[in-house]
Amino acid sequence: MRTASEEADAHKAGADLARQQAEAKCGENRRAVDEALSVRKSRYWSERCDNAEAQLRGCYEQISGLQANIDKLTQERNGFQNSFAQKDIEISQLRGDLTGALEKSQVDLRAKDGDLAELRARMKVIARPRRSTSRFNAELKIDNETKASQLRYHER
């Protein structure tokens, strides 16, 4: 019976060995599957990182373009501000010139008003009805006669 028992033990040992070999094979298969999954995950995350880096580079390029536009617009704004400041200076100078010209014109106008008033007064004198020579002589004669009679009256 020993042989049967030994044979059973041998079968049992063979079965144990087969089980151990199967478990080892399963472990190797699991490791292979785990390794394959790790490789896939690694590739997936690597691709995602590459895509994110490409998007980031695109964003940096956009930012660089926008910064160039900002710089250009800033230069234009500064140019406009300088132009406006120059125009303000010119306008101030023109206002000063116009104010001076206006004051001079007003002074000239007042002087011309005075000249005009003087000319009008002269015109009134000139435009007065003139006495004719005969009338003037007649008035002088009457005046002389009056004075002569006053003189005779005082002489008496």
pLDDT at 131: 64
Distances from the Cα of 107 to the Cα of 20, 99, 120, angstroms: 126, 12, 20
Measured at the CA of 69, the angle between CA 67 and CA 70, to 5 degrees, comes to: 60
Average pLDDT for consecutive 10-residue bins of the chain (156 residues)?
Answer: 68 74 73 82 91 94 95 96 95 93 92 88 77 82 90 81
d(CA 48, CA 95): 68
Q: Please list, in sequence order, all residues whose beta carbon lies within 8 angstroms of the beta carbon of residue 131, skipping any fewer than 6 positions away.
A: 139
pLDDT at 2: 58
pLDDT at 103: 93
d(CA 21, CA 12): 14
pLDDT at 64: 95
pLDDT at 3: 75
